[in-house]
Amino acid sequence: MKFKKIEGLIAAPFTPMDKDGEINISLINEYCTMLKKNQVKGAFICGSTGEGVSMTLEEKKNVFKAWADANKGDDDFKVIAFLGGTCVRDGIDLAKYAQQVGLYAVAITAPFYFMPNSVKALADVCAEVAAAVPEMPFYYYHIPVLTGVGYSMYSLLHEVDGRIPNFAGIKYTHEDFMDFQSCMNFGNQKYDMLWGRDENMLSSLILGSKGAVGSTYNYAAPLYLDLIAAYKSGNFTEAEKLQQKSIDMIRLLGKYGGISVGKSYMRLLGLDCGEFRSPVKNMSADDFVRFKADAQAVGYDQFKSLL
Q: Which are the catalytic amino acids? A: 141, 171
The amino acid present at 179, given as its one-letter code, is: D
Preceding peptide of 279 cis, ω within 30°: yes
What is the distance between the alpha carbons of residues 153 and 184, in angstroms, rounded to a whole number? 10
What is the distance between the alpha carbons of residues 129 and 196, in angstroms, rounded to a whole number? 22
Contact 86, 112 (CB under 8 A): yes
Residues in the chain: 307
Other CB atoms within 10 A of residue 57 CB: 13
Residue 18, Cβ density class (10 Å: 0-12 exposed, 13-18 middle, ≥19 buried): middle
Pairing relationship of beta strands 105-108 and 211-214 according to DSSP bridges: unpaired
- DSSP 8-state secondary structure symbol assigned to residue 236: H
What is the distance between the alpha carbons of residues 49 and 52, in angstroms, rounded to a whole number? 8
DSSP 287-307: HHHHHHHHHHHTTHHHHPPP-
Q: What angle do CA 250, 44, 206 make, to 5 degrees?
A: 55
- Scanning the chain, the segments in alpha helix (DSSP H) are 28-37, 57-70, 88-101, 119-130, 144-147, 153-160, 177-185, 201-206, 221-232, 236-256, 261-269, 285-297, 300-303
Q: Nearest CA to 298 among 260, 261, 271, 259?
A: 261
